[in-house]
Every structure is written in C-alpha cells, then in structure tokens.
Chain A
Amino acid sequence: MTGRTPVADQPRPDDSSGVTVSGDGLAATSDVARVKPLPGWERRLPAIYLVLLAIAVAGLLGFPRVANAYNLTLALTVLLTVSLATSWNMISGFAGYTSFGHAGFFGIGSYIGALLIFNETMPWIPAMVTAGVGTSLVALLIGYPTLRLRGPYFAITMLGLSEIARIVVTAWESLTRGGLGVYLPIVRDTRPNYYAMLVLTVVAVVVSYFIGTSAFGLTLRSIRDDEVAAQAMGVHTTRYKIAAFTLSAFFPGAAGAIYARHVGFIDPPTVFAVIWSIRAIATAILGGQGTILGPIVGAVALTLVSEQVWAENPFLYQVLFGGLIVVIVLFLPGGMMELLQRRGWLPRSRRL
C-alpha cells in the first residue's frame, strides 16, 4: 500500500493552517504512514473495512429470510437514506457545494421510473437504471451553467431548480398526468425492491469510497478548501464539479424510481417534497460531511430513531430534522466522525 503516491502529483491548496482534509482514514493510511508510523490495526484498515463491508452485505442479503414485512420496509428505508446521504455527500461533502436540490433529483427519478413502468416501455429493472441515468443527464444539463457559481449561490439556485422541476412536472399533464399522480401495478412482494435498493446502496458506497480515496476525490477536496487556489494550480474546477454532480444525481434518481415502485403511487407533492433534501442533508452532516463512513453511519442511526417519529407524526419529523441541523452546525460541524476521531475510536485524518 505504501506505493500509492497520487497525492504528490495533486495540486495543493495554499493552506498554511494545515487544515485536516479527509474526514476519515479509509485510504489515508499510506500517506500518514510516511509521516509517522501507525499502530498496527490502523495500517490494516482497508482490509478491515473490506471485511466489515462484506459482513454487512452478507447480513443484508440474508435479512429478508428472517424479517417480517414491517422490518423489511424499514430496512429498505434505511438503505434509501444511506444512498441519498452518500450521494449528497459526493458533491456537497467532498466538493463543498451544498445542494438543497436533492429532492428535485429524487422526484425526477421517480417520475422517469414510474412512467416507464406505467407506459410499459420496459421491464422494471432497466427502468430503474434508466431513471438514474436520466437524472444524471438532467444534472449534467443543470450543472454546466450552475456550477460556475460559487457555493452559496449554487445552493440557493438548487433550491429554486428543485421547485421548478416540481412545477414543470405538475404542469406537464400530457406526459406526467399532472397533479393526478401515477398509479403503478401493485407489487405485493417487497423483496425485489429491497434487493434493488441494496444493490444501489452498495454501488453508492463503493463509488463514494473511490471518490474518497482517489486523486479525483482529492481534487474535489482542494476545490472545497480553496477553489481559487485550485484553479491557480491548473485544476479545471468546473469540469470536476460537474463530474461529481452528475455522478451524485444518479443515486437519488434510481432510488426515487425504486421508491415509486415500492409505494405504488407518486404525485408531485410527495416525491418533490423538500423533506427528501432535508433527510439527505441532516443524515449526512450528522455522520460527518466529506467522509465516506459518515453519511452511512448518520443515515442508519437517524433513520432507525426517526422512523418511529415519522410513523407517529410526519410534521414532528420535520421539527426533529430542522433542530438537528441547527445543533450540528453550531456544535458539531464535523459530525459524529469528528467526535469518534477525537475520542480516538477512529483513525485520524490525513493532512494534505
């Protein structure tokens, strides 16, 4: 592992404060190793993570055999949230371009998927993939003009674009049936949807791992930490941002389509609801934005806790998430990952 040196070729932001860049130590070991030796277990981290991932996937694959309908749906929701949070983190955590528009992608994807099934254009599995690819294409079109904007303006523009998507889908009745919504054939068996969501989530996590540990991810972080410096070092920042954005849109799109098949009915107010963005943001920042593990941990923890509340009262759910975002921004900007690292339960970040 010590042979990995893409870091050396990377542009470094001019950052005299020595800010830590990576949030967790997934692949950071080799670089830290050059600075000072690590305790034995930290050096074997990639292998440890691989084993943990394999155990988790095996457990999740076997889960439908033992779970009842309620628990299976709950697990599906957890996976959905993990893929939302992980994909949000690709553009907002790694590249620092906070997006309030994830709900827009979720809605677009659900509509593509639902309409493909409804019109019997193709079987459902290709329809899910098409939904993801279609949403990525939308992101590519949106990203080209909006990602020239600086972070805060991008954030606000995405808030607007998500609403425009909802209004267009509602108004375009000939294609989308407008406010009537789309009814899909009833699927009694949750398992296929669950497995589809599991595959999607694993892909999202693997992609996130590659972003987090590659030169590509390092470039995104350099944009987050100092975009002007990155540009000055010759990084074509817009191109990298668009790539991350396009990649990140695939997952909410495909997840939206699977969700549509799972619930059997969608209409604009439900799939374009801001709560989807709120979910992605709150869970990702709770875990720790800009880290690989953070969004996973945050999404699992928060979904398991909040699903009880959601069942009781969806508005209370919103109160909970809103309050949580405030508390995290004020008191724990690095999320749970930072807390665990400070305690020494997780390996510390590498420095650029």
Chain B
Amino acid sequence: MDLLQVIVSGLLLGGVYALFATGLNLIFGVMRVINLGHGELMMLGAYTTFWLFSLYDVNPLLSIPISAALMFALGVVLQRFIVERVVGRPLLSSLLLTFGLSTLFMGVALNRWDADYRSVAYRPLTGSFHLLGLDVSRSRLVAFGIALLVTGATYAFLRFSRFGKAIRATAQHAQVAQVCGIDVGRVRLVVFGLGSAMAAVSGSLIVTIFAVNPEVGRTFIAKAFAIVVLGGLGSFAGAFAGALLLGVAETVTAYFADTQLAEAVSYAVLVLVLMIRPSGFFGAEE
C-alpha cells in the first residue's frame, strides 16, 4: 500500500512538471531557442503567489491568473527586447544568453528575498483526502487538476484556434509561414509569453505543495530537460507521459532511498538518455 501511495503522490506532482516542461517545449518548438531562464520564470511565478498570499491574504488559487498575466507580460518584454535578437543565431548563443538571464533573475531574487525557503500554507489546501483507502494530499490533487486544465487548454488553443494554427505553421517552417502572411514576430511574442505564463502557473502551484527559494529554478530546468528527453519534441502526450514518469521516479527514490538522490534522478535521466541517443533530445534538430 505504501508503494501505491507514493506512486499516486508522484503522479500528481508529475502533472505540474508536465505543465512546466510543455512551456519550455513550446518555446523551443517555435523559435529554436532553449530557454535556460524558464526555471526562473517559474520561480518568479511562485514568489508572486507567495507574496500575494502573505502580504494581502490572496487565495493562492486566485493569484494564479495574476501570476500568469504578470509572467506573460514579462515574457513578451523579454522576447521583444532580448531573445528576439538571437532567434536564428546558433543555439549556443541563445543558450549563453538565457543562461545569463537565468543568473540575473536568480541574483535579483536572492538579493531582494534572501535564500530562505518559503511556502504558502493555505488552510483549505493542507491535509489530505481519503480516496479508495489512500491518503491523497489536497494541495497535490488540486495542483494536478489545475495543471491538467491549463495544459489541456493550451493544447486546445494550438490545435483548434486560428492563431494556434499560425503558431504550428511557424514551428514547422518560419519562412514559409511568413510568406503565407503570418506575422511570425507576433507569433513569437505570444509563444514566449504563453510559455512564461505556463512556467508561472506551475510555480504558483508548486509553492502550495512545497517550499521554494530563489534557486528552485535551476533544479526545475533540469527536470524539464529530462522530461523533454523522455517524451520527445512537440509531443504533448510524450511530454505528459515523461513528466508523470519523472514525478513517480523522484517520489519513489525519495521514499525508498534518500531525498538527496531524488534530486539526482532528473540529471541522471538527462545524461543517460543523451548518451544513449546523442542526437535525441529535441528531435534530430541541430
């Protein structure tokens, strides 16, 4: 029964990972930029929820749209003034650039808010449900539900809306999309904003589950890479399965071995998969 309990708990966490990784995947798919600052956008989302809760008593679930909107705006600004300049340049320069952004944001956050761990202890989200003989943490269940909802909504947006079609066209071939009359600059703005908002929502959800500090982004970006490696590029279903798998693997490791080692799981997955499939990762892309 213990094992089942742990697996369920890992699956629920995996849902939040999926939301986070999908944002990263989306940005790479459209702009061929690996955003190493994705984790810091998540961290800023988490802090938005934390501060709104602790300073103004805002219900953490209500602060999700606020944190999403703020990070959407930040994402658009970043894309417009900084990231756009490296679109089309070699992947390494975008990696260095976003590494710099990540370092910058983390430094600012450490500077303003210290390295202390913070969490949101919102009463209705603490404790657990009894479900089929299992104890299911409320905060994890709610977070899983919301993450699923947001990921699903994004999928529907890309799949069925007209602008979503434009985004998919740009991902397939930016130049041809442009020739067909799609404003690819605007597509990239929206995509970077959307990806950032997804990171922010996952941050807002994570902070209700466990405590975070400004360095949380760095561990999360590794998780996202591991998930993308497992699931493959552009595949929503693949990323989702990869995220659930990683969530379970981490929780099981933490339960049966050691929390320290659980942190190493995502790195190990990342390194092993890349060694077995050197061209793998984001597809066969250079």
Q: Interface residues, chain A, CB within 8 Å of chain B?
A: 96, 98, 100, 145-146, 148-153, 155-157, 159-161, 163-164, 167-168, 170-171, 274, 278, 281-282, 285, 313, 315-326, 329-330, 333
Q: A155-B92, A313-B111 are in contact. Are A318 and B264 (CB under 8 A)?
A: no
When distances are taken between beta carbons in the complex, the residues of chain A under 8 Å from B274 are 146, 149, 153, 156-157
CB <8 Å contact, B102 and A322: yes
> Do A171 and B261 have beta carbons less than 8 Å apart?
yes
Contact partners of B167 in chain A: CB under 8 A: none
Residues of A contacting B85 in the complex (Cβ-Cβ under 8 angstroms): 330
- Give A277's nearest chain B residue, CB to CB: B99
**Cβ-defined contact, B97 with A153, below 8 A:** no
When C-beta atoms are compared, the residue in chain B nearest to A171 turns out to be B260
Q: Tell me the minimal C-beta distance from B32 to chain A in angstroms.
A: 10
B258 within 8 A of A: yes
Question: Which chain B residues (88-102) contact chain A, with CB distance < 8 Å?
Answer: 90-93, 95-97, 99-102
Contact A318 B103 (CB under 8 A): yes
**Other-chain contact of A329, B86, B110, B225 (Cβ < 8 Å):** B86
The answer to whether B270 touches A156 (Cβ under 8 A) is yes
- Chain B residues within 8 Å of chain A by Cβ, number: 42
Docked CA distance A170–B259 (Å): 12
For A317, the closest partner residue in chain B by CB is B107
CA distance A96 to B101 in the complex (A): 21
B275 touches A145 (CB 8 A): yes
Which of A150, A161, A168 neighbours the largest number of chain B CB atoms within 10 Å of its CB? Answer: A150
A163 to B266 Cα, complex, angstroms:
10
CB-nearest residue of chain B to A159? B222
Chain A residues with CB below 8 A from B90, complex form: 151
Residues of the B chain whose Cβ atoms lie less than 8 Å from the Cβ of A330? 82, 85-86, 97
Cβ–Cβ contact A322 & B260, under 8 A: no
Q: Give the contacting residue for B104; candidates A153, A156, A159, A326; CB below 8 A.
A: A326
Contact of B267 among A160, A313, A317 (CB under 8 A): A160
For residue A329, which residues in chain B have a CB less than 8 angstroms away from its CB? 86, 93, 96-97, 100
Minimum CB–CB distance for A260 against chain B, Å: 22
Kindly state the separation between the CA atoms of A148 and B97 in the bound complex, as whole angstroms. Answer: 24
Decide: B86 and A164 in contact? CB cutoff 8 A: no
B82 touches A148 (CB 8 A): no
Q: Which of B91, B100, B218 contacts A151 (CB 8 A)?
A: B91
Contacts of B218 in A (CB 8 A): 274
Return A313 CB to nearest CB of chain B, in Å.
7
Question: Once the chains bind, are A315 and B225 in contact (CB under 8 Å)?
Answer: no
Enumerate the 6 nearest inter-chain pairs by beta-carbon distance, A residue then B residue, closest first. Answer: A325-B100, A322-B104, A322-B103, A318-B107, A319-B107, A160-B267
Pull 19 A–B residue pairs with CB atoms less than 8 Å apart, ordered by A: A98-B92, A100-B99, A145-B275, A150-B278, A156-B274, A159-B222, A160-B222, A160-B270, A161-B271, A274-B103, A274-B218, A285-B96, A315-B111, A316-B107, A318-B104, A318-B107, A321-B107, A326-B97, A330-B86
What chain A residues lie within 8 Å of B77 (beta carbons)?
A: none
Min Cβ gap A77→B in Å is: 19
Report how far A280 CA is from B31 CA in the complex, Å.
28
Q: Which residue of A lies closest to B279 (CB)?
A: A150
Cβ A152 vs Cβ B261 within 8 A: no
> Do B100 and A323 touch (CB < 8 A)?
yes
CB within 8 Å of A: which of B61-98?
Answer: 82, 85-86, 90-93, 95-97
Residues of B within 8 A of A157 (CB): 270-271, 274
Q: How far is the CA of A146 from the CA of B277 in the complex (A)?
A: 11
Residues of B near A282 (CB, < 8 A) are 100
- Asked if A96 contacts B97 (CB within 8 A), the reply is no
Q: Are A325 and B270 in contact (CB under 8 A)?
A: no
Tell me which residues across on chain B come within 8 A of A315, comparing CB atoms: 107, 110-111
- List residues of chain B with CB within 8 A of the CB of A167: 260-261, 263-264, 267
B103–A278 CB distance below 8 A: yes
**What residues of chain A lie closer than 8 Å to B86, measured between beta carbons?**
329-330
A319 touching B108 by the CB < 8 A rule? yes
Chain B residues whose CB sits within 8 angstroms of the CB of A149 once the complex forms = 274, 278
Give A166 Cβ to nearest chain B Cβ, in Å.
9
List B contacts of A168 (CB < 8 A).
264
Does B2 interact with chain A (Cβ within 8 Å)?
no
Closest chain A residue to B109 by CB distance? A315
Q: Is the CB of A160 within 8 A of B225?
A: yes
Complex: chain B residue closest to A179, CB-CB = B260
Distance to closest chain B CB from A80 (angstroms): 19
Separation of A152 and B278 alpha carbons in the complex (Å): 11
